[in-house]
Amino acid sequence: MYRKMDGSKIENGTRVRMNHQSTVARIIQSWPPELRLLLSLASPSAATTILRNQPAEVRDWDLFLRLVERHRLAPAIQPKLGSIEDMPARVREKIEEAFQRNRLIGLQRMRQIIQIHGALDRRGISSMALKGVLAGMDLYGDAARRRAGDLDVLINPGDFHAADQVLGELGFRPQTLYFPISRTFLPWVLRQACDKEYFQPETQTALELHWRFTRNSRLLAINAGEAFARARKVQLGGFSVQTPGFEDQLIYLCVHGAAHIWFRLFWLVDVASMIPGGSVKLQEAANLFRAHGLSRIFHQTVLLARDLFGVVVPQECLKQAEADRPAVRLELRALSAIAEPVWNPYTAPARQRLARHFYTLSLRTGFAYRMMHFRQAALSEQDWRELRLPAGFEWLYYFTRPVLWLRRRSGFKKG
């Protein structure tokens, strides 16, 4: 009797896995051929998969170019354009132009990294460069092979005011948290937010100053002090810049991509290029994520890397991922986000915003994580600007939020 039941469970598990793979295959085949061709070109895996697509199927090359830009993949696919004989010359030229422009921006970003981290270092502020061109050097051996976007800098929370002053002296203007933050109000801000955004008009550069990897500290509980203790040093133009250790880098890239539902494919390309080929190393990665309570995110990432890029995953690790039903649902949600228009929280209907909250709540288990999400969702930086509560009474923001929101909606202004 026991053996019969066990065999039935195995059979049912196999059927579920096959149904899931069939569902994923149908979803991908429903995508436009332009997106499927982009997947094939961007794949870091040399394996032939169901995604291999004949260029003859592509009809709308303007759509293809828009997808390349949306998913930030011009640097990744540029070396492979020679294998596509039927691609129009103008499309090749556009992608080549985007690649060369990215190379120039990358050189500018490297100079800025040296300038910013040098200025912070001279003030005695420990700092770390996240993602960006240094990740391109790490993952591909060439900074130009990864999109050179915003600058991301991690500091210790206690250095917030000093770092903020340094960035102001370098011409960076705050885009968020741009009201005066007193010493007594700072602890509240540091708990509820994880970064402050800046923009440098002269160079058209956006920068995020982080003091924590994620807004919800219960999602990724690696604090800045732990990250600095495991940091690596990279030589850049004769200057030593700190960057996350390999394990922290993998976790952060996975959590960052998952939190954004992987709606830009270049995040997944980064992670797929990091996934080790050996089963022992991959199992070590699985154990690492499990220790942080992030198995769902790891399993979602593994499934996406296999199904979109043909990354070979050891059978045991694959079984664990496919048996994780919440992770399977997270993968399906990510597949929708990849094909949907870019998420805009300000114009999205209520149904989509609720679905987004449900997705975020599903990223990991734990009552504390969910409660932190609800608490932070009930807060607004606008309220902090308009109403300054005394230290120790910041909890009243949860109750004043509806009143302040209605006042803004009604157009009421002081005076």
pLDDT tens column, 3-36: 343 444 445 555 656 688 889 999 999 999 999 9
CA angle 214, 224, 131 (to 5 degrees): 60
Q: Quick one: DSSP state of residue 182?
A: -
pLDDT tens for each residue of 164-177 = 999 999 999 999 99
| Average pLDDT over every residue of 250-260 | 96
- 267 neighbors 260 (Cβ within 8 angstroms): yes
Residue 280 pLDDT: 47
Give domain status of residue 65, yes or no: no
Query: Which residue range(s) make up the domain with 181?
Result: 107-255
How many structural domains comprise the chain? 1
Residue 53 reports pLDDT greater than 50: no
CA distance 405 to 396: 14
Residue 83 pLDDT: 77
**Band (112; pLDDT cuts 50, 70, 90):** very high
Rounding to the nearest 10 degrees, give the CA dihedral for residues 322, 340, 105, 142. 20
CA angle 209, 215, 217 (to 5 degrees): 120
> Mean of the per-residue pLDDT values for the chain?
89
pLDDT tens for each residue of 301-342 = 999 999 999 888 888 889 999 999 999 999 999 999 999 988
Rounded to a whole number of angstroms, the CA Rg of the chain reads: 23
- 200 neighbors 146 (Cβ within 8 angstroms): no
CA distance 168 to 131: 22
CA distance 288 to 33: 37
Give domain status of residue 63, yes or no: no
Give domain status of residue 410, yes or no: no
| Average pLDDT over every residue of 346-367 | 92
Continuous segment of H or E residues that includes residue 373: helix 367-377
CA distance 210 to 408: 29
CA distance 102 to 108: 10
Instruction: State percent of the chain over pLDDT 90.
Output: 72
Residue 10 pLDDT: 46
Q: What six digits make up the tokens of 255?
A: 């959590």
Give domain status of residue 363, yes or no: no
Q: What single-letter amino acid sits at 26? A: R
CA angle 258, 101, 271 (to 5 degrees): 25
- 70 neighbors 35 (Cβ within 8 angstroms): no
CA distance 312 to 305: 9
Q: What six digits make up the tokens of 139?
A: 């993952």
CATH number of the structural domain spanning residue 194: 3.30.460.40
Residue 21 pLDDT: 83
CA neighbor of 296 nearest in space, from 334, 338, 263, 270: 334
Give domain status of residue 305, yes or no: no
Q: Is 408 helix (H, G, I), strand (E, B) or coil?
A: helix
CA neighbor of 277 nearest in space, from 243, 302, 247, 308: 302
CA neighbor of 237 nearest in space, from 109, 122, 101, 103: 109
| Average pLDDT over every residue of 113-135 | 96
Give domain status of residue 208, yes or no: yes
- 270 neighbors 146 (Cβ within 8 angstroms): yes
Give domain status of residue 70, yes or no: no
**Band (238; pLDDT cuts 50, 70, 90):** confident
CA distance 81 to 75: 11
- 405 neighbors 386 (Cβ within 8 angstroms): no
CA distance 272 to 45: 8
| Average pLDDT over every residue of 257-261 | 97
CA neighbor of 340 nearest in space, from 245, 260, 410, 238: 260
Give domain status of residue 283, yes or no: no
Residue 387 reports pLDDT greater than 60: yes
CA distance 258 to 329: 13
Lowest mean pLDDT segment, chosen from 42-56, 188-202, 335-349, 377-391? 42-56
CA neighbor of 210 nearest in space, from 266, 126, 112, 268: 126
Q: What is the pTM of this model?
A: 0.90
